[in-house]
Chains A and B, each alone.
Chain A
Amino acid sequence: DQQVKQNSPSLSVQEGRISILNCDYTNSMFDYFLWYKKYPAEGPTFLISISSIKDKNEDGRFTVFLNKSAKHLSLHIVPSQPGDSAVYFCAASEDTGGSEKLVFGKGMKLTVNP
């Protein structure tokens, strides 16, 4: 039973255009959301995060939007660059009073074409 869902396995966009990666979750107790980027043969690297008290967080070309009522978040990359081509994982965590445990989606492969 997947609590974090990335329903589209892949996305292809042209360089300079916007990339929009979507993520849905089912656990209403999740209060912190993150996006990780993964290149082949490397571990995931942190990209951007958002707390449930916010609906938007921006860092340079990357913006994450959170819609709590819809249990949906999205990552916008503008403008997209060929170096952004990677697998992107959405992750979420819940404050249970213990250690943080991230629940990941399956990932989405983004290809940015020159």
Chain B
Amino acid sequence: DAMVIQNPRYQVTQFGKPVTLSCSQTLNHNVMYWYQQKSSQAPKLLFHYYDKDFNNEADTPDNFQSRRPNTSFCFLDIRSPGLGDAAMYLCATSRGYNYGYTFGSGTRLTVV
């Protein structure tokens, strides 16, 4: 089945130690998104790629970066994780407007 896969499902990292979360898709969708969801809060868009075009949300901290080396893969890099970055990180893809998103299962990040 075509899908969106996030690895790892659970990630524990040390305070200040760089960490990378990965997302891959077999749907061949143009657009890939990264959302951050903290407990009992709405998922918050960090950035998205339309093909190779990177779009950063205005309030996304500089600590968060992303790479999309090809259509299938997208990475979220957190350069210096703080305790406040502990959250569920959701990757999603879309083939266009009004088609909605297909989500991965998420990566739960813990910062110790």
Contacts and interface: CB of A to CB of B under 8 A. Distances in A.
Interface in B53-77: 55
A100 B55 contact: no
A43 B35 CA distance: 11
Contacts of A102: 45, 100-101
A13 B90 CA distance: 29
A43 B99 CA distance: 17
Contact of B106 (A9, A43, A95): A43
A34 interface: yes
Chain A: interface secondary structure?
loop
**Which bucket holds chain A's interface residue count?**
20 to 34
A26 interface: no
A104 B96 contact: no
Interface in A1-59: 2, 4, 9, 32, 34, 36, 41-46, 49, 51
Interface string A90-114: 0001010011111111110000000
Nearest to A2: B42
Interface of A: 2, 4, 9, 32, 34, 36, 41-46, 49, 51, 89, 93, 95, 98-107
Interface of B: 4, 6, 9, 31, 33, 35, 40-43, 45, 48, 50, 55, 90, 92, 94, 96-106
15 contacts: A2-B42, A36-B103, A43-B92, A43-B103, A44-B90, A46-B100, A46-B101, A51-B98, A95-B97, A99-B97, A100-B94, A101-B45, A102-B101, A106-B41, A107-B40
Given A4-B42, A46-B102, A100-B96, 9 more contacts: A41-B9, A44-B43, A45-B103, A93-B98, A100-B97, A100-B99, A102-B100, A103-B42, A104-B42
